[in-house]
């Protein structure tokens, strides 16, 4: 299932004993020029999973995107990031200098972290009310906003902790949440961005097949 908002799909195929990444299978191999017509099964293209999703299609999730522009075009690894939380209709609640915003657009290319673990789905019925009530408290008035200490991140994490408390679970510190949930996804996203831009520039990207030399003979049963 590909969503155009999240960028063009990427694929990987095998030729000339290399992995070749591209937006689609070319007619000829970009390395040897051979017509790609009849591929063996092991050379068949596979799609690369896209780390970005359309946040407006995610229920009850934490979302992350660059404050300006998009990950695939503008993000340079140091740009400011903005975070928010979706309700069950894909409206993204986020805290800014203007108070709590309820965005119906603008989060089409986000890193998304689902907040409802299995066993918590009963919460979904009340999620929108919790989120709306939480956002109406005076902690999130525009004049309370502080760039470093009371910002979009404080808003989302405080909400997540309210939910965890309601569920009788332990609260999460900022560092713990970032390390455990955010960093693994942003790391994956950075690699994807590098690959995507290289393909946009040159049409394809090549890496060595890691097991080229050490391929065990067929049926050796190695795992």
Of 123, 154, 127, 129, residue with least CA distance to 139? 154
Binding span for Zn ion by CB under 5 A among 10-18, 43-51, 142-150, 190-198: 10-18
Options 2, 16, 117, 179; binder of Zn ion; rule CB under 5 A: 16
Q: Does 1 bind Zn ion (CB under 5 A)?
A: no
User: How many beta carbons lie within 10 A of that of residue 7, not counting itself?
Assistant: 21
Residue placing its CB nearer to Zn ion in the complex, 105 or 209:
209
Of 52, 51, 49, 53, residue with least CA distance to 12? 49
CB of residue 32 vs Zn ion: minimum separation in angstroms?
3
Binding span for Zn ion by CB under 5 A among 9-17, 104-112, 114-122, 183-191: 9-17
Options 1, 32, 35, 98; binder of Zn ion; rule CB under 5 A: 32
Q: Does 28 bind Zn ion (CB under 5 A)?
A: no
Could you give the CA distance from residue 193 to residue 199 in angstroms, rounded to a whole number? 10
Binding span for Zn ion by CB under 5 A among 29-37, 66-74, 82-90, 92-100: 29-37
Q: Give residue number: closest CB to Zn ion.
A: 29
Q: Please, which residues have CB within 8 angstroms of residue 198's CB and are 6 or more apart in sequence?
A: 21, 205
Q: Does 105 bind Zn ion (CB under 5 A)?
A: no
Side-chain-side CA neighbours of residue 199 (13 Å): 24
Options 6, 7, 13, 15; binder of Zn ion; rule CB under 5 A: 15
Q: What is residue 141's DSSP assignment?
A: S
Could you give the CA distance from residue 149 to residue 72 in angstroms, rounded to a whole number? 28
Q: Does 82 bind Zn ion (CB under 5 A)?
A: no
90 in helix, strand or coil?
A: coil
Residue placing its CB nearer to Zn ion in the complex, 15 or 82:
15
Q: Does 29 bind Zn ion (CB under 5 A)?
A: yes
CB of residue 13 vs Zn ion: minimum separation in angstroms?
10
Q: Are 140 and 84 in contact (CB under 8 A)?
A: no
């Amino acid at each position: 299932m590909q969503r155009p908002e999240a960028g063009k799909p990427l694929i990987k195929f095998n030729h000339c004993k290399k992995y070749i990444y591209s937006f689609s299978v070319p007619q000829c191999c970009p390395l040897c020029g051979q017509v790609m017509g009849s591929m063996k099964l092991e050379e068949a293209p596979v799609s690369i999973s896209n780390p970005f999703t359309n946040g407006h299609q995610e229920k009850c999730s934490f979302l992350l995107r660059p404050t300006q522009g998009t990950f695939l075009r503008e993000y340079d690894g140091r740009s400011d990031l903005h975070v928010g939380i979706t309700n069950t209709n894909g409206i993204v609640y986020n805290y800014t200098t203007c108070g709590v915003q309820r965005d119906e657009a603008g989060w089409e290319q986000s890193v998304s972290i689902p907040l409802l673990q299995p066993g918590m789905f009963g919460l979904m019925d009340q999620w929108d009310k919790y989120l709306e009530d939480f956002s109406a408290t005076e902690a999130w008035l525009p004049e309370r906003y502080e760039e470093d200490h009371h910002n979009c991140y404080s808003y989302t994490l405080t909400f997540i902790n309210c939910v965890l408390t309601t569920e009788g679970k332990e609260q999460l510190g900022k560092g713990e949440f970032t390390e455990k949930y955010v960093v693994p996804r942003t790391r994956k996203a950075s690699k994807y961005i590098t690959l995507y831009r290289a393909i946009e520039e040159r049409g394809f990207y090549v890496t060595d097949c890691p097991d080229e030399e050490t391929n065990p003979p067929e049926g050796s049963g190695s795992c």
